[in-house]
Structure 1
Amino acid sequence: MKTRLAVALLLALSAPLLTHAAPPAATAAPASIANESAADAAFRAIYEKEWAWRQAGGGEASEDGDAPESAARMPDVGPAAQQARLAVWDGVLKQLDGLDAKALSGVNQVNLAIYRDQVFNLAEEVRLRTYEMPFNSDSSFWSNLSFMARREMKTAQDHRNYIARLNDVPRYFTQQTDNMRAGLARGFSVPRAVLDGREVAISNVADLTDPTRSPLYAPFKKLPSSIPAAEQAQLQAQAREAIAGKVIPAFQQLRRFFLQEYVPKARTTLAAEAMPDGKAFYKQQIHEYTTLDLGPDEIHTIGLAEVARIQAEMNAIIKQVGFKGSFGEFLTFLRTDPQFYAKTPDELLHRAAWISKRVDGVIGRYMTLPRARFTIVPVPPDIAPFWTAGRGGMGTYWLNTYNLPARPLYNLPALTLHESDPGHALQGALAAEQGELPEFRRNSYISAYGEGWGLYCEKLGVEMGIYETPYEDFGRLTYEMWRAARLVIDTGVHSKGWSREQALAYLRDHTALSEHEVTTEVDRYISWPGQALSYKLGEIAIVRLRAQAEKELGDSFDIKAFHDAVLQQGSVPLPVLEQQIQAFIAERRKG
């Protein structure tokens, strides 16, 4: 049945083959649909059809967040469905390469460059069978279920659909474990070195005896008043039954598989390049996360140069505060002095909220603001032990309050700038408001652009007056050093034969991150090749483009206009951002 459905979806996407060339920059507004050329109409037909299929669930990946809001089942992640998706995306790529790109409007030439790379990456993920490794030390299909419970549910039918998804968890987990077995059989797995303790998030659910204590039950603790009381009680009973009868046993079975099969058989190597087709896999990971076609050696060299530059700035702050001792002794001081740490989770949350409100006081001078706002919430406890210090997106800034001695306050301004406003929360909200852009640009996320912007915002905080002490400025530099060190560590581990101990020592010796953060971050880089490269390479691009704009525009340079030009792109590959900002500079020079 699943195979027939996938074939039907594939046939629905069949379209006449339409030539492709590299897009130039574009600044003109898009033509209305009524006036569009035949080439523009053909391109729009391709992307609208594929996007609608993807949003309806056809292109769903291994996380529920990629399924439609009305889904009454978990994603189909079996090999047949994966290959059917690949056939669709390969078909779309063939159609795109058949387009006469020069006949497209300037705006659509840009859209084509963005959309083609998006589809290419989706296809390559399947082609390389990355679905056979559906977790890393940072994220997993089982922990992502807790985010499913955060979806807004307004009606009884919304809650019934959610219960249906809970009841489908055993089938979904079985498909995932079958995929993981296939990965183990060909040596494609998360390295054994980073698996110790990773079953904790599984056990947090597997060991539950009261289903109402599961985060998955949260939507039923306070149901909408529009649902009659009797129906509320019925929904609550059905949710408890689904969690107790389906979800908890599925987690228990997953734990047995993880401990008895996966951990013992996981590969003993670390490098991505050591896996089957590893060089091709790592090359694609670099392309997907950086949008650039740089080799590991080039990236490693860039990282070393950035580490040396930032180290000099860190040394200057140590001299400024009058610390007598070595760099290592200063890091020990920062990691151990109680003045730098919150005593309660609320203290950490309140401090982050105060920083974000101080940003609100000045941010309007630097960029046009979106209508949407964000909230600050603690990371769910079942995933907090292995999660990063914080993470942000449209609507929410998740702050990790687990293990407070590992969450230094001097890093908090940089973290908050990155994850909330003007970082991820603002960027995502603004992207969603760009109504003239196609949905595939408004509702997608490109790591090099998004993480590059987030890291740039940490630096922007200096101009905005957010860092109040030299220690907070050192925290900013330690975060920048952290991202520069990633370039060295990621390429060192995955291409140059670095050991885990070598990577840990490098991050420990160059940053003021706590030991807990050093460990969780290095394990993240080991198990998630390429992702860590996006931050610094993206930030370098934005900083370079701003410097060029300031130099060429002189007194007419407008910081707010520059930021708006960056943010109004949605989410784009770095080469496209380069083209668009070059066009912005040229246009402002004429003006």
Structure 2
Amino acid sequence: MIGVRLPREPVCVNTRLSVALLLALSLPAAAYAAPPATPSAPASVATESPADAAFRAIYEKEWAWRQAGGGEASEDGDGPAQATRMPDVGAAAQQARLKVWDDVLAQLDKVDVKALSPTNQVNYAIYRDQVFNLAAEVRLRGYEMPFNSDSSFWSNLSFMARREMKSAKDYQNYIARLNDVPRYFGQQTDNMRAGLKRGFSVPRAVLDGREVAISMVADLKDPTESPLYAPFKKLPASIPAAEQAQLQAQARQAISSSVVPAFGKLRTFFLNEYVPQARTTLAAEALPDGKAYYQQQIHEYTTLDLTPQQIHEIGLKEVARIQAEMNTIIQQVGFKGSFAEFLTFLRTDPQFYAKTPNELLYRAAWISKRIDGQIGKYMTLPRARFTIVPVPPDIAPFWTAGRGGMGTYWLNTYNLPARPLYNLPALTLHESDPGHALQGALAAEQGEQPEFRRNAYISAYGEGWGLYSEKLGVEMGIYETPYEDFGRLTYEMWRAARLVIDTGVHHKGWTREQALAYLRDHTALSEHEVTTEVDRYISWPGQALSYKLGEIAIVRLRAQAEKDLGDRFDVKAFHDAVLKQGSVPLPVLEQQIQAFIAERRAP
């Protein structure tokens, strides 16, 4: 969906960033008939079957169309190097994209799947589900709700400044995108008005304070203080000084005359129209076509077709299991008191909290280096590395503790009393290596896979691997104290509780207070994190389900491999088999790992 959510790219940012970036590059349907030249075909094309050739022709044409972008950037300003516009997110463009994707689905349905090679049968399953989700998001008009309490199209702009620029032309294109922000914001506002008119909006209960990030830009007096100006503070020496000064002046003008007024207009709309008219219900199932919408969110984020009730029951069982493990640790440390009193102790004792942002960043870096000393024993490592940076201040108040993806681990240093150190090992394992940073880097190296696979992010797989990475930290010896191990269990409980809360709110009609109490009573998360997390689940249906369901699948497959292979089981080979898939739906992962087990069992 274009302009709706931020993923994991930063992966975990959302866990839909990669897809959002790809979507935002789409051309109107009229351009689909004449895409740029298709990428060079693999060497095996000469011997491929007619079915394989037909399938390849479909996905190469659609992917080239999606990549071309028509000179448009993505919703966070990324995209083709020549991009001079922000994306076209208007209703007409959205429906034009839907027409393309519906046509692609019709073509795919005519492919003889059984005649495809084994590799292309996997590619087909992944690609069809990818296009199905893109089409469903537009068909259900998800673009009319282009933000949630966690991420938004206006905050995403701050990532635009992080894109590498080398030439004067790159900076000129960036300035052109800044000048296009008013048009882009206007389309988003029109979409939100249409959503309000049919009762399709973010719930009113989670909107308080969400205008703060808008106001930080709307009230800006000095354009050089904007993060959007950061690329101009140190321009490449290859650009002559006079041209540098000209670019800097143009950037200041674009921010002052285009960006700041656009944010001011957005704030007026948000406070005067959106908040007063936002729906008073919470459940996704209370939206127009709500049951279909929530079921589609479940499918997209979990790649499974479980019912909300089935997911709710899985969550309750996991919560009970993890609670028993937590109780064991409380006994181990000799704490005298109830579970609730132990959580209060963890949330209030100064020993568990950093005193400065740098202390938190340094501790995360130390944990990462300790992981580096062990990780090679458990999986083949990618060539790419990652850095650790603080979350930008304009979005930090509403972000979770950290996000990670290929190249970057964002650590939230806002409100340090809400960032307990006992949770930091689990967070770091999840967001950096061996979690998102490593998985994303390895996926990018799978050169034999089609680009639609290497550039995709499937939440159930990626988040499932991230949560599994936290558990793997036990084997790697990363948790040094019982409190850090309790932090790991808190994070696992947090993800299990999501299964209960997400379905509780969106299917069973839970109130916000019920959801807050459930998360508060079962985890050692700070009150700030409890609030931001619950508001995230309320405003982003289904996304929170992907973590635990994905991890359950990986843990189950590993247990089967260990049992079936016995002495032949090699943990590094197992992890490599999981990671070489890139990002895949859970049913595809199941199929591939079953094949891995069968192959290694063969005499």
**In structure 1, the residue corresponding to 2:305 is in which secondary structure?**
coil
Q: Check whether the contact 2:161–2:230 (CA below 8 A) recurs between aligned residues.
A: yes
Q: Pick closer, same or farther for the CA change 1:65–1:306 going to 2, 3 Å.
A: farther
Question: Is contact 2:71–2:80 with CA below 8 Å preserved after alignment?
Answer: no
Local SS of the residue matching 1:143: helix
Matching of residue 438 in structure 1 with residue 450 in structure 2: yes
Query: Aligned partners of 1:89, 1:78: CA distance in 2, in Å?
Result: 17
Separation in structure 2 between the aligned mates of residue 53 and residue 162 of structure 1, nearest angstrom: 22
Counterparts of residues 537-552 of structure 1 (less than 5 Å):
537-552=549-564
Deviates more, 1:56-65 or 1:135-144: 56-65
Change (3 A) 1:74 1:59: closer
Give the percent of matched residue pairs that are identical in Structure 1 and Structure 2.
87
The CA distance in 1 between the partners of 2:274 and 2:417, in whole Å, is 32
CA distance 1:246–1:52, shift in 2 (3 Å): same
Which whole-Å CA distance do the structure 1 matches of 2:336 and 2:73 have between them?
53
User: What CA distance in whole angstroms lies between the structure 2 residues aligned with 1:522 and 1:7?
Assistant: 38
Q: Which amino acid aligns with 2:279?
A: R
CA contact (8 A) 1:504 1:522 kept: yes
Moved more, 34-43 or 212-221: 34-43
1:206 equivalent in alignment to 2:213: no
* 1:238-291 deviation digits (Å, cap 9, x = unpaired): 000000000000000000000000000000000000010000000000000000
Counterparts of 2:46 and 2:532, CA distance in 1: 53
Q: 1:71 aligns with which of 67, 83, 88?
A: 83
Residues 146, 216 of structure 1: 8 Å contact kept? yes
Q: CA deviation at 1:10?
A: 3.3
* Secondary structure of 2:410's aligned partner: strand
CA drift at 1:64: 3.0
**SS of equivalent residue, structure 2 residue 404:** strand
Which amino acid is the alignment partner of residue 393 of structure 2?
P
**What is the DSSP-based 3-state SS (H/G/I as helix, E as strand, rest coil) of the residue aligned with 1:190?**
coil
Give the aligned partner of residue 42 of structure 1: 54
Distance in 2 of aligned mates of 1:495 and 1:303: 14
1:233 aligns with 2:255: no
Letter in 2 for 1:587: E
- Provide the C-alpha distance between the structure 2 equivalents of 1:70 and 1:228, rounded to a whole number of angstroms: 21
Q: Name 2:482's counterpart in structure 1.
A: 470
Provide the residue aligned with 1:25 in structure 2: none
What does 1:77-476 align with in structure 2 at a 5 Å threshold? Answer: 77-476=89-488
Cα separation, 1, equivalents of 2:529 and 2:391: 15
- 2:573 aligns with 561
Q: CA deviation at 1:7?
A: 4.0
Match of 2:66 among 54, 66, 71: 54
Instruction: Give every structure 1 segment of 4 or more consecutive aligned residues whose post-TM-superposition deviation is greater than 2 Å.
Output: 5-8, 10-14, 58-62, 64-70
User: In the alignment, residue 142 of structure 1 is paired with which amino acid?
Assistant: W
Q: Deviations over 1:313-364 (max 9, x none)?
A: 0000000000000000000000000000000000000000000000000100
Give the secondary structure class of the aligned counterpart of 1:152: coil
Q: Give the Å deviation of 1:67.
A: 3.4
Q: CA deviation digits over 1:378-408, x for unaligned, max 9?
A: 0000000001100000000000000000000
Taking the aligned partners of 2:69 and 2:315, their CA distance within structure 1 comes to 39
Mapped partners of 2:82, 2:134: distance in 1: 23
* Aligned counterpart, 1:12: 34
Aligned position for 2:543: 531
Alpha-carbon shift at residue 58 of structure 1 (Å)? 6.2
42-51 vs 142-151, which moves further: 42-51
Distance 2:343 2:43 in 1: 56
What's the offset of the Cα at 1:42? 1.3
Distance 1:70 1:13, change over 3 A: closer
- Cα RMSD after superposing both structures: 1.4
Unaligned runs of 5+ in 2: 1-26, 37-41
Q: Alpha-carbon deviation of 1:102?
A: 1.1
**Which has the larger displacement, 94-103 or 500-509?**
94-103
Cα displacement (A) at 1:61: 9.3
CA–CA distance in 2 between the matches of 1:530 and 1:41? 36
Q: Residues 119-144 of structure 1, C-alpha deviation per residue, up to 9 Å, x if partnerless?
A: 00000000000000000000000000
> Following the alignment from structure 1 to structure 2, what is the Cα–Cα distance between the partners of residues 146 and 444?
22
Describe the SS at the equivalent of 1:377: strand
What displacement does 1:39 show? 1.4
CA contact (8 A) 1:62 1:131 kept: no
CA separation in 2, counterparts of 1:374 and 1:13? 35
SS of alignment partner, residue 520 of structure 1: helix
* CA pair 99-58 structure 1, distance change in 2 beyond 3 A: farther
Distance 2:500 2:64 in 1: 40
Q: Which amino acid aligns with 1:305?
A: K
What letter is aligned with 1:329? E
The answer to whether the 8 A contact 1:61-1:77 is kept is no
Measure, in 2, the Cα distance between the counterparts of 1:460 and 1:173: 43
- Secondary structure, aligned partner of 1:77: coil
**Shift in CA distance, 532/60, structure 1 to aligned 2, threshold 3 Å:** farther
d(CA) in 1 for partners of 2:28, 2:372:
48
Distance 1:575 1:229 in 2: 56
CA distance in 1, matches of 2:333, 2:293: 46
CA contact (8 A) 2:505 2:515 kept: yes
1:449-479, Cα deviation, whole Å (9 max, x unpaired): 0000000000000000000000000000000
Runs of 5+ in structure 1 lacking a partner? 15-29
Query: How far apart are the structure 1 equivalents of 2:391 and 2:439?
Result: 21
1:225 deviates by 1.1
User: Do 2:76 and 2:158's aligned partners in 1 also have CA atoms closer than 8 Å?
Assistant: no
Letter in 2 for 1:498: W
Aligned residue pair count = 572
Q: Counterpart of 1:486?
A: 498
Instruction: Specify the code of the residue in structure 1 equivalent to 2:507.
Output: S
Find the aligned partners of 1:391 and 1:7 in 2 and give their Cα distance.
34
Shift of 1:9: 1.5
Q: Which amino acid aligns with 2:61?
A: K
> Contact 1:451 / 1:538 at 8 angstroms: preserved in 2?
yes
Contact 1:13 1:88 in 2 (8 A): no
